[in-house]
Amino acid sequence: MLNVIPVTVPGYAQPLVEACTAWLVTTFFSIPVSFFRIFIEAPIDVWRSLSSSDPDVVLITGANSGIGASLAETYAKPDVTLGLLARDERLELIAEKCRDKGANVITISCDIANKEDLAGALIEFDESNPIDLLIANAGQAGVTDDGSAWEDSWQGIMDVNLKGTINTVMTVFKLMEERPHIGGQIAITSSVAAWHAPPQLCYYSATKAALTSLGRDLRYIGRNYNIKVNVIAPGLIGTRMTLGERKPYPFSSWFTASPKNLANIIRWNLFEDNFVITWPYHQFLVDLAISSLPPRVLDSVQWLIGGAWSVVSPAEDKPLT
Ligand SMILES: NC(=O)c1ccc[n+]([C@@H]2O[C@H](COP(=O)([O-])OP(=O)(O)OC[C@H]3O[C@@H](n4cnc5c(N)ncnc54)[C@H](OP(=O)(O)O)[C@@H]3O)[C@@H](O)[C@H]2O)c1
């Protein structure tokens, strides 16, 4: 054991040390590497966009609404088989729209929180239609202004957003792993909340931060099996989640962006195999900037943001959409 004298930088000075460290890393590492990457990546991105074509078999979870439904319509075209998974009957409406565009559509009614049902449904679909692209998009939002909501709402969000998404991703990852000569692509829908969100979204942000971390590491592991892994991190998008009756956010449609535009951006970025696909980009930049603050500064900022949220949003608990 190293006999280190237990001396550390005093707490009040740590933000200054951390800010200087961040400045040094930004100036002498992040900016030079980023410039270098522009020259390397620009031609590769152009080549990938021009040489890529849509996958033959696409499976989308949470496909009956919002972002998932827009993705389904974006990928719907002749010669494409779409697997559309969700729980409620609105799925048939989206499926019909996609069939009208010429796609072969298979609907899967399944609760992703039910591990056995989910694995059975994914394996059965993959047996007859080996999945080229999985978009693990199904998710729920949740918000609390009140500590008592802790017991009520966290289980559901963890079961769906975290366990359900990991079960979806890993079931398909293992299927793709068995055919490394073909490989595949897996996109995990996270959120800009993985970088930063108001404290009232604590459970939701925790699940999305975990999914982003999973995506980063699975992307590395997947390379051994020819599996590309991407993380989708939308900002505020106008869907049932943000604008529906039980919306957890105190924003009007003015603040939200179109799921259709997001779906097109996702499709192009998946061609280019970008690690994090985010839009609207300015929202990501704000959350990225806040997340890189020294912890003690972030603590004060979070206190202000939490207070502001409590003023603009009603205090009642709106656990799940
Ligand atoms: N909208 C935004 O601003 C925003 C921002 C960042 C990230 N996201 C993420 O984007 C994804 C899609 O959200 P959205 O905005 O499109 O919301 P949405 O319109 O409410 O759609 C959510 C989808 O998830 C499905 N789903 C929820 N729980 C499920 C379960 N247990 N099993 C199977 N399917 C389930 C829903 O289908 P059923 O109702 O049939 O279950 C629905 O199709 C989510 O992961 C969300 O966290 C959204």
Among 12, 75, 203, 204, the active-site one is: 204
From the CA of 192, how far away is ligand 1's center (Å)? 15
Domains of the chain and any CATH numbers? 52-312 (3.40.50.720)
The pLDDT score that the predictor gives to residue 142 is: 75
- The number of residues in the chain equals 321
pLDDT digits (tens, 9 = 90+) for 264-319: 999 999 999 999 999 999 999 999 999 999 999 999 999 999 999 888 775 554 44
pLDDT digits (tens, 9 = 90+) for 206-222: 999 999 999 999 999 99
Under a CB-based contact definition with an 8 Å cutoff, are residues 133 and 187 in contact?
A: yes
Helix axes 115-128, 165-177, angle to 10 degrees: 30
pLDDT digits (tens, 9 = 90+) for 146-184: 544 555 678 889 999 999 999 999 999 999 999 989 999
The Cα–Cα gap between 251 and 197 comes to: 14
Write the residue with the smallest CA distance to atom 47 of ligand 1.
139
Q: Measuring CA to CA, which residue among 120, 118, 163 is closest to residue 140?
A: 163
Residue with tokens 């779906």: 263
User: Is the CB of 107 within 6 Å of ligand 1?
Assistant: no
Tell me the pTM: 0.94
Mean pLDDT within 185-199:
97
From the CA of 73, how far away is ligand 1's center (Å)? 16
Q: Measuring CA to CA, which residue among 243, 170, 165 is closest to residue 204?
A: 165
Write the residue with the smallest CA distance to atom 40 of ligand 1.
87
From the CA of 6, how far away is ligand 1's center (Å)? 48
User: Is the CB of 87 within 6 Å of ligand 1?
Assistant: yes
Side chain identity, residue 264: N
Active site annotation includes 249: no
Question: Mean pLDDT over all residues of the chain?
Answer: 92
**In the predicted structure, residue 31 carries a pLDDT above the cut 60:** yes
